[in-house]
Amino acid sequence: MYEKEVIEIEHLIKKQNRWRNKCINLIASENVVSRRVRFMAGSDFAHRYAEGHPGERYYRGTSYIDDIENQLKTNLKILFECDHSEVRPISGTNANEAFFSRFVKPGDVVMVNSTPAGGHISHHREGSLGKFTRNIIDIPLSEDGYHMDVDKTTYLIEKARPKLIVLGKSLFLFPEPVTEIADVCQKYNTKIMFDAAHVLGLIAGKQFQRPLLEGAYLMTASTHKTFFGSQRGIILSNMEEDQWRKIDRGAFPGSSSNHHLDTLAQMAICAYEFMEFGEQYAEDTINNAKALAAELDRHGFDVQGKAFGYTETHQVAVNVREFRGGEKVSKTLEINDIILNMNMLPHEPLKNHDRPDGIRIGVQEMTRVGMGEEEMGRIAELIKECIKDKKTVKEEVNRFRSEYQDVHYSYDVIKQDDQQPIILAELKN
C-alpha cells in the first residue's frame, strides 16, 4: 500500500548522500565516520538490548557486545588518562542529564557560560540543567567576549558559593581556565564540569587543554564533532569510586535504558582509529582552522579573536553583520553548497538568537577528507566570492569538493569473508 512512499524515502536518502558529498561541510558540530565504520552500521546489534553493565546485564545474549563495550571503555581511559568512563549515554545532552540528575538539587547555584558566550542549551534554564535548578548564573567574560574574566568569576564563586560551574561551549575558540579557578573551586567545594563536546578529539589528540588533569571533576561530551565517532555521549572522570557510582546510576536507569548497541559497536572502532591517528588529525584540524581564519581576515571579513590568534580549536567565528547577518549569509552559502550555521556572538543580546550577527565555521570534517592549509585558502576565496563579490560559486564548490571524497585518518580496509581485502572507497556507491 505504501510502496511508493517507501521508495520516496529511499530516494531522499540517496539524494542526501550525493548532495553532501558535493558540499563543503563546515558545520562545527558534525564530522564523518570512516567508510569502515559506516559499513558496520545495521549489524544485528541494531536489534538488541543490553541494559546494565557487561557481565551484569538484565538480558541474555549479550556476550559479544560485552566484549566490545569493555574494549571501548578501556580505550577511552587510555586516551583521556582517566579512571572512569561511562559509554551508555546516547548523546552529549544525555550525558549531561545523567550527571545533572544525580548532582544538582532544586535551589543549587550553578555557574554557566551564557548563550551569547557559547554556552550549550543543555546548560541553561530552557534545557537539561533547568529541570533541576533555576539558580543559574552567567560566567563573567573578559572584554573580548571569548575568554572568562577569571577575577570576576573568582569573586562570584566566593560570594555565591555555587555547587557547580559548567565549562565548555558550543562557540569554543580558546581553552577554558580550569587551572586558574581550580583552587578557589576546591576551597568552596565547587565542582568543575567540563562539557568537551566540541573539543573532545582535540583533547584526545593531545593538542588542547586536558581538563581532568587540570582540576575538572568530570568531563562530558558527544562523540561526533572533533572526535570522529558515531553519534553518542560519554562521561569521563577521576572521581572517587563512591561518587562515580552516583554517575553510573544517572546513566542507567537515570537517563537511558538500552543504549543503542549498533552505534556503540561503531564507536569502538572509532576509538581505535583515534588511538592510531588522533594526534596528527587534531594537529592538522587546528592548523587548518587558523589558516582559514587568517585567509578570511585577509579577504576583509571581521574574524573574531584576532588578537589571540583567531582560534585554538576547530572553530572560526566571523561577524557578518555588514552582510545582513548570519541568517542571510548562511542561507546564501547553502544555496552555493557551502554548509555552515548562523551563530550568536558574545556581544549580542539574547533576543538576536534567530537573527544573529555571526557565523560559526568548523574545519574538522574537511580536514578528515584530506584538505590542508592550502585548501583552506581556497575555501576562504569561495566564501569571499559568494558573499562579498555576490557570485554564484556552486559549480566550482562541487568541482573542488569532488577531489576530496576519501576519509583519511582511518582504517578504510576490510576483509570480506576473511579473504581478499576490499578498499571501502570502492564500496561508496
CATH number, domain at 59? 3.40.640.10
Question: Grid coordinates standing for 151?
Answer: 577575577
Q: Is residue 89 part of a domain?
A: yes
Domain that holds residue 240: 38-271
Please tell me the predicted confidence (pLDDT) of residue 123.
84
* 112: three-class secondary structure by DSSP: strand
Q: What's the structural domain count of the chain?
A: 1
Q: Is residue 390 part of a domain?
A: no
Give CA–CA dist 20/24, Å, rounded. 8
- How much is the pLDDT for 128? 83
Cα separations (Å) of 315 from 119, 173, 311?
Answer: 15, 6, 7
| Within-domain flag for 126 | yes
Least confident of 73-77, 120-124, 320-324: 120-124
Mean pLDDT score, 112-122: 89
Residue 427 predicted with pLDDT over 50:
no
Mean pLDDT of 57-81: 95
In a domain, 3, yes or no: no
**pLDDT by residue (tens digit) across 211-263?**
999 999 999 999 999 999 999 999 999 999 999 999 888 888 877 888 999 99
Pairing between strand 338-339 and 24-25?
Answer: parallel
Q: Is residue 238 part of a domain?
A: yes
Residue 173, in any domain of the structure: yes
Q: Does the residue 365 lie in any domain?
A: no
Categorize the per-residue pLDDT at 295 as very low, low, confident or very high, splitting at 50, 70 and 90. very high
User: Is the pLDDT confidence value at 429 over 50?
Assistant: no
Question: How far are the Cα atoms of 187, 292, 328, 375, 396 from residue 335, in angstroms, in the given order?
Answer: 53, 21, 11, 21, 13
Residue 416's pLDDT band, with cuts at 50, 70 and 90, is low
- 420 has pLDDT over 80: no
Please compute, for residue 273, the number of CA atoms within 13 A of its CA located in the half-sphere on the CB side. 27
In this structure, is residue 67 part of a structural domain? yes
